[in-house]
Structure 1
């Protein structure tokens, strides 16, 4: 199951403005945790879609890349710098 949630490439985030600390997200489980625990209060449609897609990946219903793309869209929506 762990291989099923792993992404082809990591997403590196700067979650706090003005902070040089980076967080590398390498799989769907880490993305779900980041969204639910560490995400800023700016939570719009893309955020909710990313949470939903992570759940579907963890249930084995969609490919991990779907969650990765949704996660990147949520970061963009929340003005979080992602590499």
Structure 2
């Protein structure tokens, strides 16, 4: 039996809740959503964890086995940027 996993449907076991600036709280459920936020919505000042999170979230889009590692580093980047809700 062959098992096919579509990377675009990879989701984290638990979502990450964040708030950027004065915006509404947001729920991030996957490496793809996290990467989108990192690239297009993240605060201008970026810490050490930012690039690691972007790289790992990008890699997790093509490799579901990296999914939970990507979540962990994304949470660390959120803490560093003070956007964790």
Normalised to the residue count of structure 2, the TM-score between the two structures is 0.83
Runs of 4+ in 1 over 6 A off after TM superposition: none
**Richer in strand (by share):** 1
Matched residue count: 79
Equivalent position to 1:56, from 55, 59, 66: 59
| 1:7 to 2:8 alignment | no
Q: Does 1:73 align with 2:76?
A: yes
Query: Is the Cα contact below 8 Å between 1:7 and 1:26 reproduced in 2?
Result: yes
Equivalent-residue separation in structure 1 for 2:23 and 2:39 (angstroms)? 22
**CA RMSD between the two structures:** 1.6
Change (3 A) 1:55 1:20: closer
Q: Structure 2 unaligned runs (5+)?
A: 1-5
Q: Secondary structure at the match of 1:63?
A: helix
TM-score (norm 1): 0.84
Shift of 1:31: 0.3
